[in-house]
Amino acid sequence: MSLSEKLRLGVNIDHVATVRNARGGDTPDPLRAAKLAEEAGADGITAHLREDRRHISDADIDRLMDALNVPLNFEMAATDEMQAIAMRHKPHAVCIVPEKREERTTEGGLEVAREENRLAHFIAPLREAGCRVSIFIAADKRQIDAAHRIGAQVIELHSGAYCDAHHEGRFDDRDRELEAMREMSRYAHSLGLEVHVGHGLTYDTVKPVAAFAEVRELNIGHFIIGEAIFIGLKPAMAEMRRLMDEARGELQAAS
Ligand SMILES: CC(=O)[C@@H](O)[C@H](O)COP(=O)(O)O
Ligand SMILES: NCC(=O)COP(=O)(O)O
């Protein structure tokens, strides 16, 4: 991959639905947020249909599929129910994520290595249907090798541990997490996998990750939606885009 290729920004609109669902009505509408994000230059929209439907609903996915002009990255657990939904919609990308009912947010990466056989069979029809299959994993060589073996085209590295360490002031841990993601981005890229990164990224944490030459896409939601409350969605996205471009520009200048 060349550095002149654009680093894509996928905007996750799950937490617009979280606010909507707090009152059970129709507002704020995640589709409206997605269309605004699209107008503001989002390269894709990410939505996670959780098994417990705590934020995005089935109807949201129907409406996103009908109305979006940019690719939808459909995040889902590896269950029969979700596979059937994905097969009905055939979104541009399907990102397989681990899910626990009791977790507040996606805590870790998918355990691919221990479930290789099941996951290989699970993703095969999705690939045949034309979806790009992405696997949400920790920066762990074993998991990357397994994702590669089962035929995934993309991996998304979970940046939550790096972001948490930064915001909690555990800078040694942060630097270790960052280094692991850097090394594993290179490794995954060398296997021919497309590399994405996401979870918990903020203005303070995005630049070092955006500077990984092998990374093609960042998926960012919670922070952008939170910031949008104060400054609006388009300015919040524009600032994220500016930081990503700045990191990329610095990398290009140094190479
Ligand atoms: C997999 C992942 O990182 C996302 O789905 C995102 O964080 C939003 O969903 P949750 O906050 O419900 O985990
Ligand atoms: N896959 C990560 C994602 O879509 C966004 O995560 P977050 O920024 O909402 O934590």
> Domain containing 21: what range?
8-138+158-254
State yes or no: is 199 an active-site residue: yes
**Average pLDDT for 66-70:** 98
pLDDT digits (tens, 9 = 90+) for 9-60: 999 999 999 999 999 999 999 999 999 999 999 999 999 999 999 999 999 9
Task: Judge whether 136 and 110 are in contact, CB under 8 Å.
Answer: yes
The pTM assigned to this predicted structure is: 0.97
- Ligand 1, closest atom to CA 105? 13
Q: How many Å separate Cα 253 from the centre of its chain?
A: 27
Q: What CATH number has the domain bearing residue 84?
A: 3.20.20.70
Whether the ω angle into residue 28 lies within 30 degrees of 0, i.e. cis, is yes
pLDDT band at 3 (very low <50, low <70, confident <90, very high): low
- Please tell me the total count of domains within the chain: 1
Residue 153 placed within a domain: no
Of the two residues 4 and 33, the one the predictor is more confident about is: 33
Q: Which of 253, 174, 223, 243 is nearest to 7 (CA)?
A: 243
**Closest ligand to Cα 12:** 2
Task: Judge whether 11 and 237 are in contact, CB under 8 Å.
Answer: yes
Residue 93 placed within a domain: yes
Query: Catalytic: which of 148, 158, 166, 199?
Result: 199
Residue 145 placed within a domain: no
